[in-house]
Structures are given as C-alpha cells and as structure tokens.
Amino acid sequence: MKVSASKENHLKAIFHLQQEQGIVTTNALAAALKTRPASVTDMLKKLKDQKLLIYERYKGFKLNAEGKKAAIQVIRKHRLWEFFLVRKLQFGWEEVHEIAEELEHISSRKLVDRLDSFLGFPDTDPHGDPIPDGQGRFHTQRQKCLCELPLNKEVQVSGIASQTTEMLEVLQYNHIQLGTRLEVRKKFPFDDSLEVKVRNRPPVTISAQVAKNVLVKDDEPFAEKR
C-alpha cells in the first residue's frame, strides 16, 4: 500500500502533536497542516483504512505502532536532508526546512540509508532535533532552554526553537549560533534577562524572549565526523 506525500505530511504532524498531548484533535491537526478540519477528517478515514492510526469519530485519534514507524521514517528523511543541505550545500539553517519538506517524500529507502552513511550517521539536525536511525531509534531530546540553565556552566548551543529572521538577527549580533559555547553569568530577576558569556568574547545581555528560544546541550551536538 502506497503512502502519498500528503499522507506522509499528516503522519508526521500527528506524530509531533501526540508527543505533547497523548491524543490529537481534528482542529489541532488542521491548524498544524494549514488545511481545513473537513479535509483532516477525510484523510483520517484513509489512514484508518490503511491501519496507520486509531480513530473513532468525534473521539480524537493517535498513531498505532505501524503509523508511528511510518512517521518516524519521514522525520528521519526530513532531518537527514536538512543536515545535508546545511553541511554539504552550505545552506543556512533557516532556509532548509521548506526544501526538506519536499525531499522527505522521495521514496527510496536505499537512498536514505546511503545518505545517512554519507553524512556520517549524524544524530542531530541543524535545528538541534534528533535524527532517528535506520531502526527508528533516536536519543530523547535532552536539550534545555537557556533560561532554565544554572549559572556558570559552559554548554553548547544545540538548537533554536523558533527561527525567524528577526531572531536570527539578534543572535548573529551577539555572536551566538549553532555550536557556540557559552555560559550564563547572571540573571536579572527584574525582566529575566541574562548576561551571557560567549567563549572568547566579551559578555552580552539577552532578553528572556530570546533566551527562551536558545536550546543547549552539555555535550557536543555537532561533532565533525570527517
């Protein structure tokens, strides 16, 4: 049974939504996919027929084991392509999502596995999200946001939660990017802004809003594997 691009998009979105809530609702999915609730209902019937999810009308739905497996494969493809685009083709991390949204639907399994190998089996995509391996396993995200970090502990930036051009601008200005090593020196309770010391640079101050979107990890997220 074939899974079309649209079905793959649905599976992926359902998977992400059910990470947070256990059960997914029609409206939430429609919003996530920028489609209409009626369209979602239509698709749900098809996915149910293909035995990829558990669904009873008016009662919400969630992926079954089979559906989860399929969703993870799409996510794997998406993130591997993003990694490829940034690492090999010199794209910026803010411009790869859209392209990967197309590339993730190329069907050859062999292609994905070869790509994975070519890239050196990376485990984190350019946004800091984990890349599932060939069996669908991936390390659970142990990223924290900058705002919930203890003082004076050096960490490495491993992801950016929301990457708008404006956000990027601030980070660029403060010399913060993926892989940057830094530590939090001070917290200002008044506005929750932080003094951040980037290694080899003078300290800078960033707002709570920005801090909330900077994700960090203890160990290297982006080790070169050439």
Question: 33 or 204, CB closer to DNA?
Answer: 33
Which residues within the stretch 66-105 sit at the binding site for a copy of itself (CB under 8 A)? Answer: 85, 88-91, 98-99, 102-103
Q: Which residue has the tokens 């003094």?
A: 195
Centre a 10 Å sphere on the Cβ of residue 223 and count the other Cβ atoms it contains. Answer: 11
Is there a contact between 80 and 117 (Cβ–Cβ < 8 Å)? Answer: no
Per-residue CA distances from 31 to 24, 39, 60 (Å)? 12, 11, 15
Here the tokens at position 70 are: 């399929």
Per-residue CA distances from 76 to 42, 63, 103 (Å)? 26, 17, 11
Give dist(CA 206, CA 208) in Å, integer: 7
Judged by CB under 8 A, the residue of 36, 114, 153, 201 near a copy of itself is 114
Contact segment (CB under 5 A) with Mn ion among 57-65, 119-127, 139-147, 170-178 equals 119-127
**Partner whose binding site includes residue 154, from Mn ion, DNA, a copy of itself, none (CB under 5 to 8 Å by kind):** none
Give dist(CA 169, CA 179) in Å, integer: 17
Q: Measured from the CB of residue 79, what is the shortest distance to DNA in angstroms?
A: 22
165 forms part of the interface with a copy of itself (CB under 8 A):
no
Question: 28 or 103, CB closer to a copy of itself?
Answer: 103
205 forms part of the interface with a copy of itself (CB under 8 A):
no
Binding site for Mn ion (CB under 5 A): 9, 82, 101, 125, 127
Binding site for a copy of itself (CB under 8 A): 85, 88-91, 98-99, 102-103, 106-108, 110-111, 114-115, 118
